[in-house]
């Protein structure tokens, strides 16, 4: 058989792309958004069945108009949302009709369906797609996100389209902007749950109930959930689920004023971000990795007073210290002023903590505050502190007046300060640690460098700068500032990077 030249192939109209096997074409289509993938059906009859094989389907209302339009004001979106949703519903209706005419979609276990839409006046189109996709198409990873607009109705997850058998098929569920949580006890095979931007009408007790209603649940993420409370009653999420198998919990910018983990025996990883929140630990014997990122900012012109201050033992409470097994901890406390008071009153919330990262400490704070955590973690072996520069006009924190103490830490071996500048408070931190820690073997001061967070459960890594930014004069000045204490047997273990 003669081989055609490129010119002959072009003239003969040979469709090499359509000649590829289905598996390879589907791999190509999976790299496209659903709208583009469905558009390929007009290329040739050969392509009409391929979308039935896609592993992921996405229907995003923002694809209905250019991004600059979607970025307009809420009033603008409210004006155009009904018309856009009408087009969105028409697209879903045509998609469902085509699937039905073609014998429905080929069931494919593990398929993912992602829906993003404005709160619809007529949710039947979306609801029917969800029900069909789960019952007949093998969708196990389901994401339903209601995009916010000024005109908000109320969207309820279409539980009536799923019988008990169908609900058992869902493995991963993400709900955003919904007005009611579905009866999660019906989802016996659910392993991952994400709730975000849920209506304030959902009470805090509903979130606490999530932990005990799904026996197979392993990961729970709560994002921007703000349940309403009456009469200024604090929003407290109390979790008491001794039979739970949840391994990972992430709470991101929610309005819970306190989270009490009384019993979560399988929990290994916890991350909490947002405004100050009190964490109380009960029976969590497997918890090893904790990331706590809290910020407290005062608007310009607002006065600062003692009512904004928190003590560490108010933020971290060990109901039963012997049952807390945290070995890796990331603390990120930020804000205009240092709002964490340097007192512990003898509390040791982390008795077996080995590695601690104080991340992004504002340089206008008294950086020596990190020294307080040595008493909170008597087994600590590694302390890393990352200092973030503040604007020159940032308000200066009041320096801590450290009292003379005979306290000695027996286990700390390494201190690393990233972003070190020769300020009195930073030098004070190094002096205090070198004086107190008998086992210290390595102190590294970095002018540059960075700390890379590997994510929840992955720890972190200190990345040294490519070039040493210290001049000989700066090294001498730093050594003199640190050597003001008598105890300085560690001189040979001090490094500049």
Give the residue-averaged pLDDT of 42-61. 64
392 by Cβ neighbours in 10 Å (0-12 / 13-18 / 19+) ranks as exposed
Q: Over 80: is that where the pLDDT of 484 sits?
A: no
Amino acid 27: pLDDT: 58
Average pLDDT over residues 262-286: 92
User: Is residue 123 pLDDT above 70, yes or no?
Assistant: yes
Between the two ends of the chain, the Cα-to-Cα distance in Å is 68
Bigger pLDDT: 132 or 343?
132
Mean pLDDT score of the chain: 81
pLDDT at 230: 73
Among candidate residues 262, 293, 289, 264, the one with its CA nearest the CA of residue 276: 293
- Average pLDDT for 93-106: 68
pLDDT of residue 455: 75
Residue 45 counted as domain residue: yes
* pLDDT for the residue 174: 97
pLDDT beyond 80 at 367: yes
Residue 110: the pLDDT is 82
Indicate if the pLDDT at residue 47 is higher than 70: no
Least confident of 219-233, 313-327, 443-457: 313-327
Predicted pLDDT at 198: 93
Average pLDDT score over residue span 57-73: 67
Q: Is the pLDDT of residue 26 over 60?
A: no
Residues forming a β-bridge with 111: 139
Distance of alpha carbon 57 from alpha carbon 138, whole angstroms: 12
Dump pLDDT digits (tens) for 377-428.
999 999 999 999 988 778 787 888 888 888 899 999 999 999 999 899 999 9
What per-residue confidence (pLDDT) applies to 486? 42
Decide if 28 is inside a domain. yes
Which range is most confident: 14-28, 61-75, 473-487? 473-487
**Three-class SS state of 100:** helix
- Residue 197 vs residue 45, higher pLDDT: 197
pTM for the predicted model, two decimal places? 0.86
Q: Mind giving me the DSSP string for 121-140? A: S-THHHHHHHHHHHHHS-EE
Is 132 a residue whose pLDDT tops 70? yes
pLDDT digits (tens, 9 = 90+) for 447-460: 888 888 887 777 89
Structural domain including 28 reads 21-54
pLDDT at 4: 45
**Widest pairwise Cα distance in the chain:** 93
Whether residue 25 is contained in a domain is answered as: yes
Q: Where residue 93 falls among pLDDT bands split at 50, 70, 90?
A: confident
User: 137 or 158, which is more confident?
Assistant: 158
pLDDT at 19 over 60: no
Q: How many Cα neighbours within 13 Å face the side chain of 490? A: 27
Spatial separation of the C-alpha atoms in residues 56 and 123, rounded to whole Å: 22
Whether the predicted pLDDT of 2 surpasses 50: no
User: What's the pLDDT score for residue 91?
Assistant: 79
pLDDT at 177: 92
Angle at 370 between CA 365 and CA 373, to 5 degrees: 145
Q: Give the percent of the chain with pLDDT over 90.
A: 35
**55 vs 8, residue with greater confidence:** 55
- Element at 79 (helix H, strand E): helix 74-101
16-30, 367-381, 421-435, 464-478: which range is least confident on average? 16-30
With a cut of 50, say whether residue 233 has pLDDT above it. yes
Residue 150: both structure tokens together: 């000024």
Q: Which pair of tokens denotes residue 339?
A: 């709002």
Residue 170 burial (10 A CB sphere; 0-12, 13-18, 19+): buried
For residues 183 and 42, the model is more confident at: 183
pLDDT for the residue numbered 297:
79
**Total number of domains in the chain:** 1
Q: Mention every residue, 6+ apart, whose C-beta is less than 8 A from residue 259.
A: 236, 237, 239, 251, 272, 277, 278, 279, 280
Asked if residues 431 and 460 have their Cβ atoms less than 8 Å apart, the reply is no
Residue-wise pLDDT for 326-366, tens only, equals 999 999 998 888 888 767 666 777 889 999 999 999 998 99
Q: d(Cα 312, Cα 246) in Å, to the nearest integer?
A: 27
């Amino acid at each position: 058989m003669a081989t055609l030249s490129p010119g002959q192939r072009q003239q003969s109209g040979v469709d090499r792309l359509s000649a590829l096997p289905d598996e390879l074409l589907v791999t190509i289509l999976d790299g496209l958004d659903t709208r583009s993938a469905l558009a390929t059906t007009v290329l040739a009859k050969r392509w009409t069945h391929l979308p039935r094989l896609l592993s992921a389907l996405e229907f995003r209302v923002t694809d209905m108009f250019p991004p600059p339009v979607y970025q307009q004001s809420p009033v603008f979106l409210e004006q155009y949302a009904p018309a856009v949703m009408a087009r969105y519903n028409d697209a879903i209706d045509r998609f469902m009709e085509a699937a039905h005419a073609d014998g429905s979609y080929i069931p494919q276990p593990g398929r993912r369906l992602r829906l993003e839409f404005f709160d619809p006046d007529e949710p039947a189109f979306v609801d029917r797609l969800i029900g069909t996709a789960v019952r007949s198409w093998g969708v196990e990873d389901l994401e339903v996100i209601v995009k916010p607009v000024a005109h908000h109705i109320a969207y309820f997850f279409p539980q009536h389209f799923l019988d008990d058998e169908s609900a058992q098929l869902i493995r991963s569920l993400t709900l955003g902007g919904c007005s009611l949580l579905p009866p999660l006890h019906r989802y016996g095979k659910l392993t991952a749950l994400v709730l975000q931007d849920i209506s304030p009408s959902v009470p805090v007790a509903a979130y606490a109930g999530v932990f005990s209603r799904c026996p197979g649940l392993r990961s729970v993420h709560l994002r921007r959930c703000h349940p309403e409370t009456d009469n200024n009653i604090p929003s407290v999420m109390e979790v008491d689920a001794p039979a739970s198998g949840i391994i990972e919990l992430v709470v991101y910018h929610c309005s819970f004023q306190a989270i009490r983990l009384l019993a979560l025996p399988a929990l290994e990883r916890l991350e909490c971000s947002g405004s100050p929140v009190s964490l109380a630990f009960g029976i969590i014997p497997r918890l090893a990795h904790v990331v706590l990122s809290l910020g407290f900012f005062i608007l310009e012109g607002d006065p600062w007073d003692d009512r904004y201050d928190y003590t560490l033992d108010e933020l971290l409470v060990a109901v039963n210290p012997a049952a807390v097994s945290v070995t890796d901890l990331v603390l990120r406390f930020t804000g205009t002023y240092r709002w964490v008071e340097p007192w512990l009153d003898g509390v040791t919330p982390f008795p077996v903590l080995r590695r601690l990262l104080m991340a992004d400490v504002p340089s206008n704070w008294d950086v020596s505050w990190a020294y307080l955590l040595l008493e909170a973690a008597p087994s600590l072996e590694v302390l890393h502190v990352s200092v973030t520069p503040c604007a020159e006009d940032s308000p200066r924190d009041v320096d801590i007046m450290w009292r003379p103490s005979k306290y000695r830490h027996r286990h700390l071996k390494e201190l690393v300060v990233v972003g070190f500048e020769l300020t009195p408070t930073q030098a004070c931190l190094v002096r205090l640690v070198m004086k107190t820690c008998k086992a210290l073997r390595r102190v590294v001061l970095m002018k540059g460098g960075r700390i890379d967070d590997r994510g929840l459960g992955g720890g972190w890594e200190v990345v040294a700068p490519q070039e040493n930014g210290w001049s000989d004069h700066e090294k001498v000045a730093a050594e003199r500032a640190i050597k003001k204490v008598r105890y300085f047997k560690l001189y040979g273990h001090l490094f500049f990077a």
